[in-house]
Structure 1
Amino acid sequence: MKDALSVLIRMGSLHRLLPFWLVGLWLITQNLAWWIPVALVYGYIAQLFVEYAMHRFLLHREPPTEQSVFNELYRSHIGHHEYPSDAEFFTGGDHWYPVRFGLISVAIHTALLWPLLGLSMAFTVAYIALFVGSVTAFATYEYCHTLSHLNVKKGRFGQYVTRKHLAHHFQDHHATFQVSFGLDWIDRLFGTAHDKDVAKERFDRKTILSMGMDPEDLRLVTARKAFGINRRPGAKKASS
């Protein structure tokens, strides 16, 4: 647990979200009411589906042909698959993205709730749901994801999230998009649960780390050079 937390406290996205989360806690203390747990549960569950959708449809989309766009996808996810033990690739390069996404989500939810609750209450409910409930779910995801990639001694919890997530990396990258603990049901709901037989049919040792791409694809080679990578895919970064 300590090793995973030491990585988390250095994550730029969590640094940027922390002030918004703290403001949300303050709003809770100022609005103690029956709807607070409902808002928190809604925000938490909403983030679980966002986690799944972004992983499956955004990060695992068809590789772009334009190199600059491909480089962005490489930095945000393909590089993580090629170098899964490198903490530098645990998160994407745009650490402000979660904040922008959260602010836009709050604006949309506020607009939808405004006719029912009034502007002030609509904003308060939306903010607490998304910047406390959803951000808590996001931090939980980052913890599970980080723990699954660290080569440390793990208890039953760590072994579970590691076994589940590394099946996505090393057996079938077309399945098991949900990373957070205990949420296999979301993959089952959308038909992307891990299946050993299907995984064996899909498995290609040459392309598994590059998400189905030829490791020598010019886009991959160019992206690696752009980020100063000169080691083979899957290799650990040399210690300094």
Structure 2
Amino acid sequence: MQRLRIMASHPALAMMALAWLCGVTALSVAGPGWVWALVPLGIGAQLLNEYNLHRFVFHLPPPRRQWAFDLLYRAHYGHHDFPTNTGLFFVPVWVALPMLVGNFLLVWAIAALAGLGDAIWIAVAIVPVGGVAMFMVYEWYHMTAHLNIPKSRLAARVTRLHNQHHFRDFSKWFHVSPGGQVIDRAMGTDIDREALKHQQRIDFIRTLGLRPDDPRLVAARARFAPRFGISGAEVAQAGNVKSP
């Protein structure tokens, strides 16, 4: 129940859950039965989307301009800065909504241009049904990885791999969803057990390679701390993290 309450309190997840429910309802009531077979395509596409968004957007080199830095801080940097803050677990609405709409329009356009019948239903099956379902699975396991609660064997494995991303090497293990580590291995961004034994912790790991007292981080913390209930003591601690 704790996890459900946390997810339900986040606007982006509530919106995505509604999109999934609408998609499933529409497909069940009016969609052709054969398009249900395309739902796994949406699941696979979202696994790729999860990896690419995390690696190539959320881990962009820190911008020099504060407004751009703040956008990435809200989207992801802040989560590395305060990894146990529940408000920073999930992507914001302004990331989730354009992703949903853009992916839907893209799939619809490809199906229509290819001359496929029922292009709209193809897009519904792949994006709000399959893709959003996988998105919610990702957010569930990502949240679970950061909570100090009893975990299943699968959740414990996800947590172990995700902790390597946060506290060993933030340029590795971009995936969180179960099974997604296949993509990390294929892309060369995994860490094998033997290598991990000799891997040194990267300096200032919590802030993605930035010094904890970087002026951009200081400004972003001051801006977002009140919104996410981050105390002054937590901000001070984040700004004084020493190199391991």
State percent identity of aligned pairs: 34
Question: Match for 1:127 among 124, 128, 134?
Answer: 124
Q: How far does residue 150 in structure 1 lie from its aligned partner after superposition? A: 0.2
Cα deviation 1:109-161 (Å, max 9, x = unaligned): 2121114124xx11111122100100000000000000000011222122111
- Separation of aligned partners in 1, 2:197 and 2:209: 13
Q: 1:202 to 1:70 in 2, by over 3 A?
A: farther
* CA distance, structure 1, for counterparts of residue 4 and residue 17 of structure 2: 15
Offset at residue 58 of structure 1 (A): 0.5
The partner residue of 2:139 within 133, 138, 142 is 142
Unaligned runs of 5+ in 2: none
Q: Which amino acid aligns with 1:98?
A: A
1:21-36 to 2 correspondence within 5 Å?
A: 21-29=20-28, 30-36=30-36
Note the 1:1-240 alignment, pairs <5 A. Answer: 2-29=1-28, 30-37=30-37, 39-92=38-91, 94-115=92-113, 116-118=115-117, 121-195=118-192, 197=195, 200-201=198-199, 203-204=201-202, 206-228=203-225, 229=230, 230=232, 231=234, 232-233=237-238
User: Using a 3 Å threshold, how does the CA distance of structure 1 residues 159 and 198 change in structure 2: closer, same or farther?
Assistant: closer
Gaps of at least 5 residues in structure 1 are 236-240
Instruction: State the superposition RMSD in angstroms.
Output: 2.0
Question: 1:19–1:3: structure 2 CA closer, same or farther, 3 Å change rule?
Answer: closer
Give the distance between the partners of 1:156 and 1:42, measured in 2 at CA: 27
Output the CA distance in 1 between the equivalents of 2:65 and 2:239. 24
Per the normalisation by structure 1, the TM-score is 0.88
What is the aligned length?
Answer: 229
Deviation at 1:201, TM superposition (A): 4.5
| Partner-residue secondary structure (3-state), 2:151 | coil
User: Residues 177-212 of structure 1: CA distance to partner in whole angstroms, max 9, x if unpaired?
Assistant: 0000122111001110124536854523x4111111
SS in 1 for 2:178: coil
Contact 1:83–1:234 (8 Å) recurs in 2: no
CA distance in 1 between partners of 2:86 and 2:125 (Å): 30
- 3-state SS in 2 of match to 1:34: helix
- CA 218–127 in structure 1, closer or farther in 2 if over 3 Å, else same: same
**C-alpha distance in structure 1 between counterparts of 2:208 and 2:200, whole Å:** 11
TM-superposition CA deviations, 1:202-236 (whole Å, max 9, x none): 523x411111111111111111111235322299x
Instruction: Give the 3-state SS of the residue equivalent to 1:117 in structure 2.
Output: coil
- Superposition TM-score, scaled by structure 2 size: 0.87
Answer yes or no: is the 8 Å Cα contact 1:102–1:130 preserved in 2. Answer: yes
